Amino acid sequence: MRHLPLRASLLCATLLAGQPAMASAPDTPLADVAATSDADITVSARRRAERAQDVPAALSVVSGDLLGATRTVNLQQVSTLVPSLNYSSANPRNTAFTIRGLGSSVVSVSQANDGLEPGVGFYVDEVYHARPATAAFDFTDIDHIEVLRGPQGTVFGKNTTAGAISIATKKPSFTFGAQAEASYGQQNFRQLRASITGPLVADLAAFRVSGSLTKRDGVIYNQRYGTWQNSIDNAALRGQILLTPTGNLSIRLTGDWASFKGDCCTQVYVRVAPTLKPAAQQYGALAAGLGYSVPSTNPYARLTDIDAPVGTDTQEGGASAIAELKSGPFVITSVTAWRFWDWDAANDRDYTGVPVQMTQHIPSRQDQISQELRFSNAHPGRVDYVGGLYYFHQKIVGHPISIYGPQATYWLLPAGRPANLLDGYGQNGTSDFRSDSMALFGEATLHITGRLALTAGLRETWENKRGTYDTSVSGGLATGTASLTADKNSILRAQSYAANVSEAGLSGRLNLAWKLTRDLQVYVNGASGQKSGGINMSGLPVYPSGVTGHANGDPILSTAIIRPERNFTWEAGIKSQWLGGRATLNLAAYSTVVHDFQANVVDNAAVVALRSYLANIARVTVRGIEADGQWQVAPWFALRGALAYADGRYASYPAGPCPIELTGASTASCDLSGKALPGLPKWNASLGGEVTHDAGRAQLYARADAAFRSMIYGEATDSAYTTIAGYTLVNAAVGVRVGPRWNVEVFARNLTGANYLQNVTVQAGNSGLVVGTPSDPRMFGLTLRGKV
C-alpha cells in the first residue's frame, strides 16, 4: 500500500501466526471487502437468516473466501482455523472429529464400530451425513462453514450432544459466472478446481456445476518395495439446479459424488513401550529373535518396510431436494435426501516388515435416506419460531476380513506352539446394522424487549436399532488339541449374534440474550442433548467354561447394547464489535457433564472372559474458555485470531483398559478416573493476517496463518508412551491479483517444516510397539486462479 513499503508488508505477514483475518476472496482486493468479516456472514444456525454476530451462542464461521485464501480443502484443515474442533484420521474409515473434546468414541483404529453414531453432527446443505468417514473427502465450491458448539437438535436434523458442523455450498446463480484454479507443488502435488453457473431459463431455472481433482505422491517411503505410500488421489463432482417457478417457491436439486483413493494408509515406528508381558513376548526380544530392525527409529525419516498391501478405494455421494415455500406469514421447508458411502481399504495391521498379519480390511456399504419438514415464521416478529419433523434411516453392511501370516504364532502367542499354528488363519463374515430415527422438534424466541430475548426449545427423539454379526474362521494348523484351539480363538473367534434396541429421549435448550448496545451482546445458555445408544458390531466378550446355561465361548449378549449418552452444557458468552465494526471480540465459558459416556471397558466379573469392549462409563466432564476475534487494522492490514482452553476428564472410569506399560499377558482393567480425555489439547490457538500493496491495476499481497496445539494423549488410556507432543503449524502465501479476474500465488504448507504426529496406534498383540502417522513434509507450490 501507499502507507507501507512492500518489504515491510511481506515481513509482517510472514511473522504472523494464524489464519487470514478477513473473508476476502483470493482474487478480490482486500480493500473492497474491508468492511466484511466473518461476523457479518449470514448464517442459518437457528434455521433463519441472521448475522453470525447476532446469534447468542458459541459459533465459528469460516467463509468460502477464507477457505480459498488459506487453501483449506477438507475438514482436517478446517480444524487449524477453528481451535475448538479437533480432527484425527488414521485412515478415512477411522475418521474422528470432536468439538470441545466430545463427539467421538473412536480414538484408535481398534475402536471403530459401525453400531455407534457420532456426537458431532456433520451436515452438507442441510443433509445429515451419518458416517464420520465422509468428512475425509475434499470440499467442493463452499460458500461457508458453521461450527456450532454444544448440544444441537432443537431446530434441525439429527440429535447431537457435542455440536454440529454445517457446510453450505454455493447456490446456482441466474448470472453467468465461471472460475477455475490450478496448482502444482512439491511431492508432485496437482490440484484442479473449477465451477460454472448461470441461467437455464431466465428467472425460472439456473444451474451450477463444480468439481475438483487432487493428486499427490506418497510421503512415506517403503524400502521393501521401493514405493511411496500414503499418496492422495481424490476427485469430487457436484451438480445443482435451482428452480423458482414462483416468487414464493424455490426448489434446489443437488447430486454429488466424491472419491478418495490412494496407496494409503500406513504408519511408521514411533517408540517402544515396556510392558508387563514376559520379556520374550516384548517387542525388543521378538524383533531380535528374527534379526529384524525397522528402517528407521526416527518417525520423521518417513520410512517403512511393511510387507502387506495397503490401499484405499472409497466413494460417497447422493442426491437431495430442498424446497422452500413462503406462504403468508409462514415458511415451509422440506429437505429430502439419499446418500451412500462405499468403502474398502487394505491394511498392514502389524505395521512392520514381519509377516504377522497379511490381510485386514472391512469392505462396507452404507445407504441412508432422510426427510426433514420445517415450519417457521416468514418475517421477524415479537416471537420467532421454527419447528419440524425429522426421519432418518440407514443400513450398513460390512465384511470383516483378516488373514494371518507365517510369523503370527511367533509374534502373538507364547513360546511352545507349532510355528504354523496361525499361518493362513483368518476370519470372514458379515455385519448388518440398521437404524431408524424419528423426531419432533421446535424452538421459539420471545423478544421481551427490543434488547432482551428468551429462547426455549425441545426435541423428542424415537430410535430403533438392530444388528446382526456373523463371522467364521478357517485356515491355520488343523488341530483337535483343546489348548491349541483356545490359542487360535484368542486371536480370532467365530461368533454369531443379533441385537435390537429401541429408545426415546428428550433434549432441550434455554437461552437468555441481552443486547446492551447495538454492538455488545451477553448471553447465558443451558442445553441438554442425547447421543443415541448403539450396538456393538465388532464382536462381544464371551463366557468362559463352567457358567451354567452357557457353553465356553458363547457371546455375552448383555454386552451387545450400548446405552445413550446424556449431555448437559451451560455456557455464558459475550459477543462484541468495536471501532465501527472493524474489530470483533467474542468470549465464551462453558461446562459440560456427560453421563453414560460411551467408551471401552474391561469387565472382570467371574462369568466374563476378560476382554475390552465398548460400553458406558458413569461420567465425563469438560470445562473451558474460548475467545476469537478479528481486527481490520487498516485497509491494507488485517488480523485474526482464536484461542481455546479445555480441561476434559473421566470423572468416573473405574474399569478402563490399561495403558500399554501396564499390560500383561492377560487382559486387566485399570481405574482411569480423573485422567484426561484423549485427543483434547488443553490449549489450541490460531493467529494470522494479510497485508497488501497496490501497484496500479495489480495488488501484491502476503499472508501467513498458523495453528498451535498443546500436548494430547493419543489413545484412551493416557499412556505415557502414546502422547503426542504439542506443535505449531505455519502456512503462508505471497501473490499478485491482476484486476478482478486473475491471481497468481506462491504458497507454502508447513512452512517451518514442523515435525509432529497426527495420530498414534499401539500394535495389535501388545508387544509394546507404538506407531504413528507423521506430519506431511513442507511443500512449496504455485497456484493460478481465474474467473469470469
Choice among 10-19, 173-182, 663-672, 745-754 with the minimum mean pLDDT: 10-19
Q: Indicate the average pLDDT of the chain.
A: 89
Residue 9 has what pLDDT?
A: 37
42-59 burial, b if ≥16 CB within 10 A, otherwise e?
Answer: ebbbbbbeeebbebbbbb
First to last CA, the chain: 26
Residue 112 has what pLDDT?
A: 64
716/656 Cα distance (integer angstroms)? 9
Q: Which residues contact 49 (CB under 8 A, 6 or more apart)?
A: 42, 43
Residue 603 has what pLDDT?
A: 56
Pick from 165, 75, 96: which is nearest to 714 by CA? 96
Residue 133 has what pLDDT?
A: 81
Residue 21 has what pLDDT?
A: 34
Residue 612 has what pLDDT?
A: 66
Name the CA radius of gyration of the chain, rounded.
27
Does the pTM surpass 0.85? The reply is yes
Q: Which residues contact 132 (CB under 8 A, 6 or more apart)?
A: 95, 96, 97, 104, 106, 118, 120, 122
Residue 511 has what pLDDT?
A: 96
Domains and CATH numbers, the chain: 6-787 (2.40.170.20)
Residue 29 has what pLDDT?
A: 40
88/724 Cα distance (integer angstroms)? 12
397/414 Cα distance (integer angstroms)? 35
Strand partners, 237: 211, 257
Does residue 551 surpass a pLDDT of 90? no
Does residue 234 surpass a pLDDT of 50? yes
Tally Cβ neighbours within 10 Å of residue 75.
25
Choice among 182-196, 238-252, 523-537 with the minimum mean pLDDT: 523-537
Q: pLDDT band for position 114 (50/70/90)?
A: confident
Does residue 473 surpass a pLDDT of 70? yes
Written as one string, the DSSP assignment of 161-201 is SSEEEEEEEPPP-SS-EEEEEEEEETTTEEEEEEEEEEEEE
Pick from 765, 91, 770: which is nearest to 405 by CA? 765
Does residue 109 surpass a pLDDT of 50? no
699/687 Cα distance (integer angstroms)? 23
Written as one string, the DSSP assignment of 756-778 is -EEEEEEPTT-SSEEEEEEPPPP
pLDDT digits (tens, 9 = 90+) for 400-414: 999 999 999 999 999
Q: List C-alpha distances in Å: 332 to 124, 202, 205, 206, 375.
A: 20, 25, 20, 22, 5
Pick from 564, 536, 469: which is nearest to 119 by CA? 564
Higher pLDDT, 633 or 656: 633
Residue 666 has what pLDDT?
A: 67
pLDDT digits (tens, 9 = 90+) for 714-745: 988 999 999 999 999 999 999 999 988 999 99
Residue 73 has what pLDDT?
A: 84
Q: Which segment, 97-101, 269-273, 738-742, is predicted with the most confidence on average?
A: 269-273
CA torsion, ordered 284, 286, 288, 289, to nearest 10 deg: 160
Residue where the block lists cell 460411551 = 598
Rounded to 5 degrees, φ, ψ at 753 are 65, 35
User: How is residue 6 written as a grid cell?
Assistant: 512492500
603/614 Cα distance (integer angstroms)? 11
Pick from 318, 354, 352, 349: which is nearest to 336 by CA? 318
319/336 Cα distance (integer angstroms)? 8
Residue 665 has what pLDDT?
A: 65
Choice among 109-118, 274-283, 414-423 with the minimum mean pLDDT: 109-118
535: three-class secondary structure by DSSP: strand
458/529 Cα distance (integer angstroms)? 10
DSSP 8-state symbol, 659:
P
224: three-class secondary structure by DSSP: coil
pLDDT digits (tens, 9 = 90+) for 764-788: 888 999 999 999 999 999 999 999 9
